[in-house]
């Protein structure tokens, strides 16, 4: 096959890929199925290329399978979920033919392993999901690659997702492993970057959310543990809550509301842990997080935050009687 023929195939495949990605963005059942047709066309075209002699074109072919997997995941029906896992497997087989020393290839491999792990979690295979996510963390933590700065957000997301998968497993050490994974996620994002880059702020916040979930599970599993064991975990949890909510409030003041679901959950967690373990700081926590000048009236006026405010009020009445 001549070079101009190969380039023509690649160009036609790119048209189908772009059309498919636009259809996926519409997020309707009809558009997603049309997107699958586009990706299948792109895959068929790139499959005609001389991949044995020009393996670099596997990069584009793998992209077709990854986009197919994304569309299948978005369809969210039982058959599509399993087909998505198969698509990720095919994409990773193709990516394995490319040099991982190339940062672009390494990044695509990380994303594929991560998303495969999330897809496996959905179909009820938590152990396989954990293995896939662990592979993603190993790839993301490779210091031999000269990573661009935006990869720190991806690294944090991978560690957070590993923590989530661990919490859904039945492993006896799952909670502690999830706690450590969440700490790695938080450490991956520089605080100053999270304060100025909204895309970095999300994994920083989610990492703290998973961290708190892991600590809550640890403490539930060991209700009779003494203060010496519990106290450091309480400090970790309150620090994670305070830092996460400070970040969310700062972005709310700038008109960014995408963090509300996670931040609201952190507020409810903070209310409970301060009430139970550090009641002397309970009023301060509530005042800080329900002050409209510190975040936004719109968030505080939401149904979930009003419910959290009522919960904090009810719990506040119990504190004086137990001191």
What is the C-alpha separation between 311 and 189, in angstroms, rounded? 32
Q: Is 228 exposed, middle or buried (0-12, 13-18, 19+ CB in 10 A)?
A: exposed
pTM: 0.89
What is the C-alpha separation between 289 and 274, in angstroms, rounded? 13
Cα separation values, 66 from 51, 91, 148, 183, 295, Å: 18, 6, 22, 29, 38
What percent of the chain is modeled with pLDDT above 70?
97
What is the DSSP code string of 222-242? -TT--HHHHHHHHHHHHHHHH
What is the DSSP code string of 19-58? HHHHHHHH--HHHHHHHHHHHHHHHHHHTTS-TTT-GGGH
What is the C-alpha separation between 97 and 103, in angstroms, rounded? 14
CA 237 to chain centre: 20
Residue linked to tokens 């991806």: 154
Residue 248 pLDDT grade (very low, low, confident, very high; cuts 50, 70, 90): very high
Chain mean pLDDT for the chain: 92
Structure tokens of 314?
A: 């009810």
CA 157 to chain centre: 4
Dihedral of the CA atoms 261, 264, 268, 270 (nearest 10)? 120
What is the C-alpha separation between 16 and 29, in angstroms, rounded? 18
Using only C-alpha atoms, the chain has a radius of gyration, in whole angstroms, of 23
What percent of the chain is modeled with pLDDT above 90?
81
The number of residues in the chain equals 323
- Report pLDDT digits (tens) over 140-185: 998 777 767 667 789 999 999 999 999 999 899 999 999 999 999 9
- Report pLDDT digits (tens) over 184-222: 999 999 888 999 999 999 999 999 999 999 999 999 998
């Amino acid at each position: 096959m001549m070079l101009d023929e190969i380039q023509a195939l690649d160009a036609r495949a790119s048209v189908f890929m772009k059309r498919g990605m636009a259809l996926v963005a519409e997020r309707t059942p009809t558009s997603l199925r049309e997107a699958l047709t586009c990706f299948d066309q792109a895959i068929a075209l790139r499959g005609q290329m001389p991949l044995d002699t020009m393996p670099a074109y596997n990069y584009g072919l793998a992209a077709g399978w990854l986009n197919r997997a994304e569309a299948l995941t978005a369809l969210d029906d039982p058959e599509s979920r399993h087909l998505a896992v198969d698509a990720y497997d095919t994409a990773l087989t193709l990516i394995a033919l490319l040099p991982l020393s190339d940062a672009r290839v390494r990044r695509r491999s990380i994303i594929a392993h991560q998303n495969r792990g999330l897809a496996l979690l959905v179909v009820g295979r938590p152990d396989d999901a954990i293995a896939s996510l662990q592979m993603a963390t190993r790839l993301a933590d490779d210091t031999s690659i000269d990573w661009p700065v935006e990869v720190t957000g991806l690294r944090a997301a991978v560690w957070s997702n590993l923590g989530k998968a661990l919490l859904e497993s039945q492993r006896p050490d799952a909670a502690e492993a999830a706690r450590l994974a969440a700490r790695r996620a938080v450490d991956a994002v520089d605080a100053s970057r999270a304060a100025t880059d909204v895309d970095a702020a999300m994994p920083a916040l989610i990492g703290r959310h998973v961290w708190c979930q892991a600590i809550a599970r640890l403490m539930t599993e060991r209700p009779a543990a003494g203060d010496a064991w519990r106290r450091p975990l309480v400090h970790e949890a309150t620090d994670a809550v305070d830092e996460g909510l400070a970040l969310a409030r700062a972005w709310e003041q700038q008109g960014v509301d995408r963090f509300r679901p996670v931040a609201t959950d952190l507020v409810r967690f903070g209310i409970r842990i301060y009430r139970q373990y550090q009641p002397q700081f309970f009023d301060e926590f509530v005042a800080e997080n329900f002050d409209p000048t510190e975040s936004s009236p719109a968030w505080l006026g939401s149904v979930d935050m009003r419910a959290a405010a009522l919960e904090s009020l009810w719990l506040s009445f119990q504190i004086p009687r137990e001191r």
